[in-house]
Structures are given as C-alpha cells and as structure tokens.
Structure 1
Amino acid sequence: MIRPEALATLSRWRESGFAVALGLFGLWLAGRGGWVFGPLGLALAAAGTAFLILALRRARFRQNSIGPGLVELDESQITYFGPTGGGAVSLRELVELRLLARGGRRFWRLKQADGQALLVPVDASGAERLFDAFSALPGMDSHALVAALAPIGGAASGGLPASATDTLGPVIWHRPARRALT
C-alpha cells in the first residue's frame, strides 16, 4: 500500500515525530494547569525537546543502507563484515576517528592504539548504530560528528566533490592523552 521510498522516509524521521508528539502532549498537559499537571506537562515538553534534538542528529547521521557490508555493534565492539574484508575494533582501543573518501565512496576510518585501522562504509547496513557508539566516546562532540557527514560541495555522489577520489578528512575525534602517574 505504501511506496518503499515513502516508507523509508517515514522510518528515518519516526523518532523525530515521536519527540514532537511528546512535546506537544506535554504542552497540552501543562495547559490543563494545576499543581500536578502544570509541572508534569512542562517536564514532558522539556524531555520532548531534548529528545527531538537527539533524534534530528540521528536522522541526519543515518545514510541510505545501499553500501556493501554489514556493521554490528556488540558490547562496545564495532564489527564490520564486508564483501572483500572486514574486522573489529573495540571502542576502548579506539584512538582516532576520521572520515575518508576513496573511489567516490565515504568510509569511517577507525584507528586503534596498535596502529591498525578499520574502514567502514558510511552507508553500510547497520551503520546508523555507530552514532550512539561514537557519541559515547569521551569528549566527542555529536554536532561535529553529524557535520562531518554533511554533503561537501553539493555533489550528487554521496556529497563528494568530483575531484575528491582519495582524501583523508580531518580528525573528527581523538582520544585524549593519558597522563602518567608519578
């Protein structure tokens, strides 16, 4: 009954719709007045607003799942199963996060403390789970994370300019240096 494109769009923005509904219900409840409904409604409206900010960032982070491979996130370990390779990275061992453009595609470059790096396509199936994993990293700015995925130059090929075939983007996040105990 519903076209697949419309269903995909509705699915992408469902969290935002829920947050707006929660905020509106909170405002309606606050309008009822009284010592109970007023503060409860304002608290629900504030929670809906906070959830809306997070939901909008998640929706902007989510890409079409048309890329190769599958991403799994299990107990702070990111695993990528690709058609020609793959690997796993522990979030505890992660020291650097970058966005890499290679051959007209974009990849997350996850570098471990031992120097190994894992490339994960931003449009792989399950890559939307990475937002929560990356947001949990110490000192991560989720706004900078979403801004890194913004289309560059407005090109149609995943936001990449035509001249950028192999470019290593700026560091989005790096683990703060640990101080030595003396």
Structure 2
Amino acid sequence: MADFLRPEARAFFRRWREVIIALAVASLGLYWALDGVGITVWLGYIFIAIGLGWAVAGFQRARFAQGGDGPGVVQVRERRLAYFGPLDGGVIDVADLTKLELDPSSHPDPSWILTGIEGQRIAIPINAKGAESLFDVFSALPGIKTEAVLDVLSHTPDVRVTVWSRTKPLLH
C-alpha cells in the first residue's frame, strides 16, 4: 500500500497536508453552518474561522518548506536553535538573534545566516533536515514581516540580503 502514490505525489501531500486538513475543517464548519440546527450552526461558524486561519498559516509554512534533503540537521528546543552540519554547526538562543540574512551564494545550497549578540554566526542551508521549524522561530522575531521572508525565499536574490535585524542591546 505504501507504493500506491508516486514519491512526488507523497512529497506534495506531505508538504501541503496542513492546508488540506485545515480546508477540511473549514468545509465541515461550512456544512454545519448551512445545514445544522441550534448550536451546531454556531459551531460551524467557529470551525470555519479556525479552519481558514489554520489554512493561511499552513499555506505560509508550505511556501517556506524547501524539502529536507540538504546537509545537516536543525533542532529547536526551548527557544534554543541548534544546527549540526557535516562541516560546521552551532547553537544560539533565539532571544540572542540580532540579524537574519539569506545568502544565495553559499555552497551547495542557499543558506540562512543567523547572527547573535556576541557576533557568532550560524549558516543553515534552507533545505537542511528540520529547517521547516525555522519558520516558527523567524515568525517570533519582533518586528519581522513574514511575507518578506517568503518573498526573499521564493525569489532568491543574487547577493546576500538582510531579512531582519535589530540593534544590539546595550548594558547600562
């Protein structure tokens, strides 16, 4: 049964599964809202709202995902980001990030360059295993525009681009 779908079709459904499930929830809500009685109608409206909000978030995550066949592994645990690559890696707290860049010239694949307060840098290929978890990390950065991140990723520039930055906090 595992060979029922081609690998490309499985990859497509895996990438867009969150959007598909969210639209199914919204469809169930629409059915209840139009055909329900009593409290079911109100539950239908709630399901529609939840499903559509979930679909928007899932659509953004699906656009961000680049596959997981690149070099290295990304882990995010308790607001600490770790990248374990074949040649380099590092660990940085999300609260310590001061700059996020996309470097299209890195080899073999474009990479996210994360810079910390003390100047440490981590280069994470956009298609590293677990790199889709970076979307939630980037979305939590203060003042970041998620659409700007997705635009830079979909229209890869020729030179390094700063997607987000903040000033270094000063101590007294």
SS at match of 1:149: helix
RMSD across aligned positions (CA): 1.9
Match for residue 156 of structure 1?
none
Which residue identity does 1:82 align to in structure 2? G
Query: Residues 55-70 of structure 1 correspond to what in structure 2 (within 5 A)?
Result: 55-70=58-73
Structure 1 CA distance for aligned equivalents of residues 41 and 122 of structure 2: 51
Match for residue 30 of structure 2?
27
8 A contact 2:98–2:168 mirrored in 1: no
Instruction: Give the C-alpha shift of residue 10 in structure 1.
Output: 0.9
Match for residue 157 of structure 1?
none
Match for residue 130 of structure 2?
126
Which residue identity does 1:172 align to in structure 2? V
Query: Residues 35-46 of structure 1 correspond to what in structure 2 (within 5 A)?
Result: 35-46=38-49
The partner residue of 1:10 within 7, 10, 13 is: 13
Query: Residues 23-172 of structure 1 correspond to what in structure 2 (within 5 A)?
Result: 23-101=26-104, 102-103=106-107, 105-152=109-156, 164=158, 167-169=159-161, 171-172=162-163
Q: Scaled by the length of structure 1, what TM-score is found?
A: 0.85
Structure 2 CA distance for aligned equivalents of residues 70 and 151 of structure 1: 24
Structure 2 CA distance for aligned equivalents of residues 32 and 3 of structure 1: 37
* Count of aligned positions: 168
Which structure is higher in helix share?
2
SS at match of 2:160: strand
SS at match of 1:129: helix
Match for residue 165 of structure 2?
174
Structure 2 CA distance for aligned equivalents of residues 146 and 168 of structure 1: 15
8 A contact 2:71–2:128 mirrored in 1: yes
Q: Which runs of 5+ in 2 are unaligned?
A: none
